[in-house]
A and B are shown apart, each in its own frame.
Chain A
Amino acid sequence: MSGHSTYVPKTALGKWFEARLPVVRLLHDTAVSYPTPRNLNALWTFGGILAMMLVVQIVTGIVLAMHYAADSTVAFRSVESIMRDVNWGWLIRYLHANGASMFFIAVYVHIFRGLYYGSYKPPREILWILGVIIYLLMMAAAFMGYVLPWGQMSFWGATVITNFFTALPIVGQPIQTLLIGGFSVDNATLNRFFSLHYLLPFLIAGVVVLHVWALHVVGQNNPLGIDVKSDKDTVPFTPYATSKDLMWIVLFMIFYGWFVFYQPNFLGHPDNYIEANPLATPAHIVPEWYFLPFYAILRAIDFNLGPIDSKLGGVLAMFGAIAVLAFLPWLDTSKVRSGRFRPIFKVAFWLFGLNALFLGFLGSVKTDDIIMGFQAVVWAKLSTLYYFLYFLVILPVLGYIEKPKPLPVSINDAILAKSAPSSVH
């Protein structure tokens, strides 16, 4: 962030403030004069969209907490009363519930953008890892939030997910008991999940500050994946990036609004409108859509592997699928950042994207459903294999065997060459 401060306080009050707390300078340098690569495409607006979604979730969440009661005897009723009795309660709850889904849609676009354009490569490793941490915190927050309405999916989702820990040898059972505060999911679990669900968004906000800080130290990546070389390669954040971000925020809001006003329960599950019953597991448990790929990986491991039984194996594979992201900066050995210049990577990447969607689909069906002539669990094993192959074999090897296309000299040159291929220079 240093080295480009152009802020000059103009008013007497501004000068007085500047001498005591230069926060206006910080904001000016961060959101106004910050040089941003001039070739950023629409995919780069998702950071801004995510920031907006975090604010939306915090504001709607604080309001919902004013009407919600975290007690297993009344929680379900209190959510229904938010829907029926509280003024605008239906709107605020649907904004919050669908907001979680929108948050994940935006974060998946943001992550896949980073994967394609190599935004995790040096010098952006810390920036990327902070992103992985935010993603983990988001998953924890979303999971705990889904438990609060105390419906059937809430209860059994909480049971299944806290049972992940029992897969660990020796310490597993005590950890699970500690997490849920009893021998089964109950009122104690609901209470602490509410407390933590309120806390996590603020932790996310804290890590977001670090994420943005790290971004402003190393600078943004761009579709060409080459470094900014001169002022010609950049434009100031305001008005260029702010106006573009705002336009895409509005488009995203229309998409979000369509769900909230026309399909508010499309992304949810009807079983969650049945109050939690510890004696009856719903016939078909599925997590929220944003966890489905990982759920498919969990279920794919139904065989023992030496000393690791199927249960621990599934849990390890599932957490491994997320943990591997943190090591990505060192797994991808190619010096070229952007996928645009990597012909073989491009194929592997799009296969990875399709594979991730397919895993999501497999997570939504029963394991013994027949898909294209085979049981879903067979496909899940193949898909899981490709998921890990991509990170652990393809990316490390490609850096050595792939011949990338020539990179442009600078961002500015590439733009000029595109607009007038032969006349300039």
Chain B
Amino acid sequence: MPASEAAQVVETIFFNLASTVTDGVASARMLKRSYADRWRPLPTRKEAILAESDTPAEPTRRDFLLHAAGAFGVVGVAAAAWPFIDQMNPDASTRALASVEVDISGVKPGQAVTIMWRGKPVVIRNRTEKEVEEGKAVKLEDLKDPLARNANGDANADATDANRAAAGKENILVMTKVCTHLGCIPLDESGEFGGWFCPCHGSQYDTAGRIRKGPAPENLPIPPYAFISDSKIRIG
């Protein structure tokens, strides 16, 4: 295609775009005018400017263009800003939802393993009978957070020991070991309640990982997990 022809095509496109805009403006203005003067020709730009100085209340074509351009600009700036905000969110490699499989056959009663899942430590504790009994003995009204926080059960379930422990295996407790206060890692087998103690701000969790004392608002959350065999757990 020769250059002059290309230029002509571009010019045509521009002309069409421009007339679409001006037609739009014209119809917008038509709507504003009363029935009686609807058939009067629209004022030229010069007339409009002159008219504006007399009757500032009547919006001119310039007002319309200014507002339209302004509104378009705001949308444009917002659209351009979004990638610069969203780039800060987790990238694809972080988002890729990994699930982890853990063999817990070597974890004897009174022992625990801590593994990493989505960058956070998850503790799998084989609780002793004493710990289970202590967990069961706690009355619901003594709990700061009455919800089980178990991703594998009902969202509104009570925070009983049974609702916190693995289904059918009351000795196994699987939890994200991240303090619900400000994200520190609580220490195992410590604190006044024999469960977990957060060294940062003194939150204390009991043997079922429920918050009992200190600034943390919620029980330690239980991630989605499933037993794939008697001694193997898949988290995530």
Contacts and interface: CB of A to CB of B under 8 A. Distances in A.
Contacts of A166: 182-183
A122 to B, nearest CB: 36
Contacts of B116: 278-279
Given A160-B200, A285-B200, A310-B215, A178 B184 contact: no
Interface string A279-318: 1111111000000000000110110100001110010000
A186 B121 contact: no
Given A183-B90, A367-B201, A160 B215 contact: no
B232 interface: no
A181 B88 contact: yes
Nearest to B118: A183
B94 to A, nearest CB: 5
A260 to B, nearest CB: 30
Nearest to A309: B217
A284 B90 contact: no
B217 A310 contact: yes
Interface residues of A, number: 39
Nearest to B216: A311
B183 A183 contact: no
Contact of A177 (B85, B89, B178, B217): B89
Which 6 pairs between the two chains have the least Cβ-Cβ distance? A184-B119, A163-B182, A163-B183, A281-B185, A309-B217, A281-B184
Interface string B196-236: 00111110000000000011110000000000000000000
B128 interface: no
8 contacts: A156-B200, A163-B183, A166-B183, A181-B89, A279-B116, A281-B199, A284-B199, A314-B215
Interface in A335-388: 366-368, 377
A179 interface: yes
A176 to B, nearest CB: 9
Given A159-B182, A159-B184, A311-B216, 10 more contacts: A163-B182, A179-B88, A181-B94, A182-B90, A281-B184, A281-B187, A285-B199, A299-B215, A302-B202, A368-B202
A192 interface: yes
Contact of A279 (B89, B114, B183, B214): B114
A309 B184 CA distance: 18
A178 B215 CA distance: 24
B45 interface: no
Contacts of B185: 279-281
B18 to A, nearest CB: 42
Contacts of A281: 184-187, 198-200
A284 B116 CA distance: 23
B100 to A, nearest CB: 14
Given A178-B88, A279-B114, A156 B184 contact: yes
B1 to A, nearest CB: 47
B121 A279 contact: yes
Interface in B63-95: 85, 88-91, 94
B219 to A, nearest CB: 13
Contact of A183 (B94, B198, B215, B216): B94
Interface residues of B, number: 30
Interface in B158-197: 178, 180-187
Nearest to B120: A184
A183 B88 contact: no
Nearest to B178: A184
Interface string A163-184: 1101000000000011101111
Given A160-B184, A310-B217, A314-B215, A283 B90 contact: no
Contact of B90 (A177, A285, A377): A177
A310 B216 CA distance: 7
Contacts of A192: 88
B92 to A, nearest CB: 12
Interface in A135-162: 156, 159-162
A188 interface: yes
A278 B200 contact: no
Contacts of A160: 182-184, 200
Nearest to B199: A283
Nearest to B85: A178
A191 B88 CA distance: 11
Nearest to A280: B185
B200 A183 contact: no
Interface string A211-227: 00000000000000000
Nearest to A179: B88
Contacts of B202: 299, 302, 366-368, 377
B195 to A, nearest CB: 16
A282 to B, nearest CB: 7
Contacts of A181: 88-91, 94
B150 to A, nearest CB: 18
Contact of A302 (B119, B120, B215): B215
Contacts of B94: 181-183, 186, 188
Contacts of B201: 298-299, 367
Contacts of B181: 163, 311
